[in-house]
Structure 1
């Protein structure tokens, strides 16, 4: 999510930006949840699910505090 945020940094918010930004956590969560009913190969693990959720929360927290204009930080 942070990589996609960096790629789209300083550009206006658009539907493409929102789709790409949320595609990463949705695919990660869907793949982990798909392992529970054996729709996706692998072993379901609650700690993987919690790690994904924590990573999404950290990325959202970092992007919330990020300035949209880097010149605002200069004195």
Structure 2
């Protein structure tokens, strides 16, 4: 009878010691996931910005090439 009581008290005290540890672990893992998601979002934004900048650069190159072709055609027809 006393053994059951001691065993029950021991298990309950272990539960109350383990629960905060589990809660801390969950909080830390959630924070890690939030940081990971934030880093991924920032990388996606930087990649998108770089792609837009590259597209703008490609458009400028295309405009320059077209203007050169147009000037060459203009010079040939003279």
Q: TM-score, normalised by structure 1?
A: 0.34
Identify the structure with bigger relative contact order (alpha carbons < 8 Å, sequence gap 6+): 1
Relative to its length, the structure with more helix (as a share) is 2
Q: TM-score, normalised by structure 2?
A: 0.32
| Structure with larger Rg | 2
